[in-house]
Every structure is written in structure tokens, then in C-alpha cells.
Structure 1
Amino acid sequence: MNYSELQLHLSPDFTDILTAELGELGFESFVETDEGLNAYIIEPDFDEKAIQELIAKYASQTAIAYQVNSLEKRNWNAEWERNYEPIEVVDKVRVRASFHELDARFRYDIVINPKMSFGTGHHETTAMMLEQQLGLDFAGTTVLDVGSGTGILAILAAKMGAKKVLAFDIEEWAVENAWENVELNDCPQITVFQGTIDDVDPNDLYDIVLANINRNVLLVDIPNYTKLLNEKGYLLVSGFYEHDAPDIQQKATEAGLTFVRDMINKEWTSLLFQK
């Protein structure tokens, strides 16, 4: 299936905002460029009128120009390979593609071939989730990774000692990509399936739930995540802006969770709670 590539020419100050807005419109993957931002969506889901309305929304704040290209999936693989550079998280985690060499200085080496999935570690929300994970003890734990994308968070949990990790995503291509990355990282304790939180067995409880997903989903599903947590278990979330954090925190408090700490990076936020 072909993808539509949306090339946006805009100020770097608005890259993160447009990434979030386009995510709400169904765009699946993003590449920052010297000119601004490239975003990718399955061609049948592309709505140019919605793009024009989005640009008009920010027209008074910044100049935005765009063009649309039809892009076959194999071309996207070449695109991310040209732009994908390893990232480092607090000198402990290095996220790289399979065509990069291993750097033995890092305790956790994660190989991610992202294909069409979101979650290479380059976005602030993913990087914060990885950094927050480093502050938790995963040894012998059971972990649930919600909206797993590439599987990057599940893979770090496994490398940090989790005994069982269940990851899921609603998109078939994301699940296929996650399985590929799980195998690349030799993490047999990870299981990945296609579905939603409603497909998780309510009788299975977890020590840690990871959810890097948008605010609207979090506001609906935080009570469901809480029900799946063991007592003293942790819920770690991201995928929203700093101004949305009070709403997320309130929903978590109402669900019976206690706020532990936050992390902020370029107006994006990550929150950690304990049951």
C-alpha cells in the first residue's frame, strides 16, 4: 500500500506542535528535516482539506508551506535510513538501527528498525520514557506496553530484567515491526499482539504499565491501566504537552494513583505514578 508524504516547510519552533496535530489526524511517522517536517500516512487516510484547516489554524503565528507526494513503502525505508542517527539517553542507553555499529560504552544497546512505526527514541516523549524507565527497577517484573509502536519501551524493559512483557498496538504494521525489533534484540520474554487495552486479560496484573500515547486516549484509559496494576505498581505515561499534565494527573489521582515525578522536554511531559 502506498503512503502519502506531507512535506511541511515551517519554523523549527512549530515542529513539535505540528507533529502532535498531525498525529491526531492519523499520520503515523515523522522525520524532521532542515526545512521543517515530513509526515507519513496511508494514502486512503490522507485528507488534504484537514491539512489546509490545520495550516490555517497556525497561519497567524508562523508561515507554513506544504506539498504532498505519493510514496511507496520501500521508499520510506530508504528515507528513514538516510535520516536515522543513533540517540543516547543519559549515557546509559543507545538506540541505533541495525546498520549502525555497536558502541560498547553503553549499558543498554537497543536496535530499532522503525519502518513505518513511531518510536525511534528521537521524539522527546520516547526519549523521556526511556530516561524515566532507567529510574525504575525492572528486575523480575511483569510489564505492559500500551501502543507499543516499534517496541522500543518493551525492549528496554526486557533488557533491564523484566521477566514478562506484553506489548500491543492497534496497527498491524506496527505489530509486525515490533516483532522484528524484538527478535533483533533477542528478547524472548516479550509478546506482541494487535489490539487494544480491552483485549488484555483483566486477570493478569502488571508491576509496570508503560503508555506513550496521546492525551485523549490516556484520559479515557488511565482507569483501565490502574486496574491492571499490582499494588505498589507503576504507571509511566507520556505523549502530551506540559499544559495537559494537570488533566492527566487529575485523572490518575481519581483512579487511585499517587504522583511520583515528572519530566519535561521542549514542552512535552512524562509523568510517573504509583498505585
Structure 2
Amino acid sequence: MIVMPNDCFSVPNRLRELLHRWDAEGRRPQGEIGWNRTTWLASLTEHQDLLAELPDRLGRDHVTERGRRADEGENKAVRAFVTAMVWGYGRVGYGAFRTARVLRENDEAPRILREVASKTRRDGGAEAFEWLKRHRLRYLGVSFATKYLFFCSDAAASPALVLDRRVQRWLWQYAACHVSLDWNVEDYRRYLCLVTKWAQDLDLRPDEVEYLMFADDGSQRKTAEEVSEESDEFAVLDALDEAAAAFAALPGDIDPDDLEDFERGVRQMRRIVLARGFASREPEQ
């Protein structure tokens, strides 16, 4: 159960606007996600049976069905993880490579994925996040780790919500709240606290609030110049992601220390880009 601290903010006006628009549209759920089956089959040959049976377009319900069985065995946990990654990366070209790397570079991945799924369902997202930080899977960052936790979660427990770059930026711009994507347990707890409180105030589920933030396209609020600036920032961030994946995929043996140094540099450049974006826009209260 999440204890609400005194510094939980009131519901942002922007969130109320998004809910009003969502109501007017009949509360349509998130659309299904397309993905490139050929790319995933080439990168994860050992999971061809799973990838062959997935639909061409994945919806949240389909992934949730697998995620909620991830605590039943290591094989089911791995299959749930792969399915969540397919959904999370969608048509992003390097998603299959990154997913395969997590599974192949961590001998304990099946056990850890099963145990954290069980902890998510039993103890909730905050406790699972803290446990996974102590049992880190190399190459699995917060954005995609929380996607897996989300699909493994149980509605009866405290929520496990996705915390990715889009949600991070939304929180800063519309709630003056900065949360880290660097495995900061207190930041993740604070994020869950905020969303849970907002959900209660709006008579929504926490995952519905997270979806509204994630799906916010900024329409009716941003100028053309602001949209252009944010598009440029996303383009730079995507290019940095592509560079990290391309370096790791170079032919021949790569010294693990060189790979770590390269990715550390990419992380530092990513922080610089995000800081410039945050500094250029005054957060709304």
C-alpha cells in the first residue's frame, strides 16, 4: 500500500483537460502496436514459436494476459518479458537486438524475471522496483523494466506503472515534478504516489492516468515552435539510442569495458539533451 506524503501535488489542470477530452471521445483505449515480426524472429531465434503466434498488432490486454502468468515459471516469465518488449519497442528497429541482449547477457534472467513478477503481484510496484534495482539485469533500463512490471502487476496490489521518457517529460512540464530514469527508488515511489492520488481525485485507475500522460500529444496547448523544438529533442535522443545499439552490434568481439564506456557517454549526452529541453520551458503549475 502506498502511503501518501504531504508533498503529493494537486491534480494538474492539463490532466483534467485530457480527461475531459478522453470522456468526449468515449474513453477509447490505447491502440494496438504494430511490430516487425521478421526482425524479431532473426534476433530471437530461440523464441520463434512465441513470436510466430503473436498477432500482427499487439494490444495492452494481450500482453497483460501473459504478464499475469509470469510468476508461474521461468519459461512463462521469459515469454511474458519478450511479449512486453515487443509491445514496448513496437517498430523500433533495435528493440529485438536489445531484448535478446538482456536475455543472453544475464544468466540469471529467467529466475530474476520470475521472482520480480511474483514480487510485483504480491507486494506492488514500488517494492518490485526496489528489488529489481538490487538484482539488476544488465542492459535493462527503467523505461522497459517498468513496462514489464506493469504487465505483471495485480490490480489488488499497489500499482506498478510505466515510467519512461514521455511520462518523465510530462511530469516536468505539467506538474513541475522531475523523476529520474536512473533507478532512483524514491523517485519511482513518488511517481506512484502522485499518480495514485490523482487517480483517486479523478475517479480513475492509476494506469488510466499514466495512459493519459503518455498519450498526450500536446494539442490545444503547444505552439508550432514548441512542437518543432520537442521534435528536434526526440530526434537527438533517438539518434543516441541508435548509436548505442549500432556500437553494440559491431562485428567482432567488443571489450565489455569499451561497451560500458560508450553507453555511459551516451547516457551523459542524453542527460544534457533532456536538461536543455527542461530548461527551455517553464513548468506549468
More helix by percentage = 2
Higher strand share: 1
Q: Which has the higher contact order (CA 8 A, sep 6+)?
A: 2
TM-score when normalising by structure 2: 0.25
Instruction: State the TM-score, normalizing by the size of structure 1.
Output: 0.25
